[in-house]
Amino acid sequence: MTFSASKFLFACLSFFLFTHAVTAQNYAGRWHGDLDAMGTIIPMVIQLQKVEGTWKGALDVPSQNALNLPLDISLVGDSVSLKGPSGIKIAGRFSSDSVLHTVYFQNGFEAKVLFKRKEGTEMVSLPPARVRPQEPKAPFPYLSRDFKITDEGTTQAGTITSPKGQGKYPAVILVNGSGQQNRNSELFEHKPFLVLADYLTRNGVVVLRYDDLGTGESIGDVGNLTTLTAADNAEKLLAYLKSQPEVDGNKLGIIGHSEGGVIGPIIAARNPDVKFVVSLAGMAISGRELLGQQLMELGLKGASASKKQFYMSMLDAMAAENTYNQARAKMEDLIEEFNGVEKLTKEDTASLQPLFMPWYLTFLKLQPKNYLSEVKVPMLVLNGDKDVQVRSEANIATFQTYLPANKKHTYKRYPQLNHLFQTAQTGHVDEYVTIEETFNPEVMSDVLEWMKKL
C-alpha cells in the first residue's frame, strides 16, 4: 500500500479525452513521453503495432523496471484509449503521425502526457509476456464458481473455490489492500490471490475472493469508498461465504493483505462469526503515521525541505480536524500560505486533489489499535523485512502491544520478503514487476499450518 509517484502510474481510476483533429495515419511504433507526478518525472514508452487488423501494444516504464505491460487498445480514427494492468488508463488523440496528446488521471490527479514517436513508422516486435511460474493452470482438482450479488445499486462479483467431496470445510475470505483491485489482486501480471486461493483450496479450504467496487465485474460508488466502507463490503461477503453449504461456520476466517490486514481486525472486533484473522503485510500503526512514512520515503524523495514540511502539515490538518469541511478549510489555508513562500507547481496542485477525497480523510484518522484491542480471536501476523510500504518492525510491535493476550496469536517476520511476499533484493516497488515469484511458498505453508492448529 503506497501513495508514491509510482502508484500514480499503476492505480489509475479513470481517464479524460483531449480533442484534436487529424486524418487517419499509421500509428505503429514506439511512443515516448514523460509523466510528471508530484515533481517526479516518470519516462514511459507505449509500443503499438497492428497484427492481422487488430491493434496490440505494451507499456514500458524503464525507471520502475516495469516493461512490456500488456495494453488493451481501442483506436478509432485519431482517438485512442489504452487500458493496462492495475487500472492503468490513458486516452488521447494523435495530432499528427508523430505526436500523441493524452491525459492521465488518478483519484483527481490529472496529468497531461505528450508522447512523440521517435522511431518513425516502423512496426515493433513486442517482447513475450513475463514468466509467472506460480500462476495456476487448468484443469483444477477442486470446484470453482463465480458469483454476483446485487444490493441497492451495488454489484459485488467474485469467485468461490471449494474442495471436491461431501462435508464441511474451513473457509476464508481474501481482502485486498488499498486501491481498486480485482479478485486476483493483480499487479504487474502477478495474481497473488489466485495463487493463494489455489494453494489453500488444494489443501481443503474454501476461499472467496472478489473484485473491489469499480473493478472487474463489481459495480458501486467508488468516489466515497473508505477503509470503513470496504470493511462493510467485506463483512457482507463474509456472511455470503458462511451461507454456502460446504462451509464450516465454526472455522470461518479473514485473510487480508496490506489495508486488508487492518480490515480483518475491524470486522473481527464486532462480528462473532469471524473465528480467526490472518494479516499479510498489514498495518497496526496509525493511518497518519503510515502515510507520512510512505510520503517521506517514497513520494517526496528528493523534494525540498519546505515542500516536505508542507505535505506533512497537510496530513496533520486532515488527521486533526473533526469534519470534512473543517479539514478542507484548513488545507486550503495551508496551500495559500505555502504559495506565498514557494509556489506550488501544477503537478503539486494536481497531486493534492486526492487528499480531499473521503478515503484519505478517513484513513488519516484511522487508529487500528482501537480495533485490535477488541479482537478476541486468534491472529496470525506476517510481514516481510524488505517491505518498504508497511514496515515490519514497527507494525508487528504495535500488533503485539494492542492485541489482547491469546496463546494462539503468532507473529513472524521474513528477512528477504517484500510487501507482496516475494523474495526481493531491495524490496522497492520497482522490483515487483521483475521478480518471477508471485507468492513465497513458505508464507502460504505457514498460513495453512497455523489454520490447521486452530
Which pLDDT does position 123 carry in this prediction? 45
Which pLDDT does position 17 carry in this prediction? 25
pLDDT digits (tens, 9 = 90+) for 247-263: 999 999 999 999 999 99
Q: Is the pLDDT of residue 128 over 70?
A: no
Mean pLDDT of the chain: 85
Confidence at 228, pLDDT banded by 50, 70, 90: very high
The reply to whether 142-286+366-452 shares the fold of 5-117 is no
pLDDT digits (tens, 9 = 90+) for 371-400: 999 999 999 999 999 999 999 999 999 999
For the chain, the residue count is 454
Rounded Cα distance between 64 and 432, Å, is 9
In this prediction, residues 98-118 reach a mean pLDDT of 77
Q: Is the pLDDT of residue 215 over 70?
A: yes
Confidence at 97, pLDDT banded by 50, 70, 90: confident
User: Does the predicted model carry a pTM greater than 0.85?
Assistant: no
Q: Are 57 and 46 in contact (CB under 8 A)?
A: yes
Q: Is the pLDDT of residue 401 over 80?
A: yes
pLDDT digits (tens, 9 = 90+) for 145-175: 999 999 888 999 999 999 999 999 999 999 9
Query: What percent of the chain shows pLDDT beyond 70?
Result: 85
Which pLDDT does position 347 carry in this prediction? 63
Place of cell 516504464: 61
Place of cell 496533520: 316
Which pLDDT does position 21 carry in this prediction? 30
Quote the distance between the C-alpha of residue 217 and its chain's center: 17
Which pLDDT does position 12 carry in this prediction? 31
pLDDT digits (tens, 9 = 90+) for 167-198: 999 999 999 998 778 999 988 789 999 999 99
pLDDT digits (tens, 9 = 90+) for 429-451: 878 888 999 999 999 999 999 99
Which pLDDT does position 366 carry in this prediction? 93
Q: What are the phi and psi torsion angles at 413 (to 5°)? A: -115, 145
Which pLDDT does position 298 carry in this prediction? 74
pLDDT digits (tens, 9 = 90+) for 19-30: 223 334 578 888
Query: Angle between the 358-365 and 324-339 helix axes, to the nearest 10 degrees?
Result: 100
Confidence at 44, pLDDT banded by 50, 70, 90: confident
- Show me where the domains of the chain are located: 5-117, 142-286+366-452, 287-364
Which pLDDT does position 63 carry in this prediction? 64
Q: Which of 303, 312, 307 is nearest to 331 (CA)?
A: 312
Q: Is the pLDDT of residue 276 over 80?
A: yes
Confidence at 50, pLDDT banded by 50, 70, 90: confident
Confidence at 86, pLDDT banded by 50, 70, 90: low
Which pLDDT does position 338 carry in this prediction? 82
Which pLDDT does position 64 carry in this prediction? 62
CATH architecture of 142-286+366-452: 3-Layer(aba) Sandwich (3.40)
CATH architecture of 5-117: Beta Barrel (2.40)
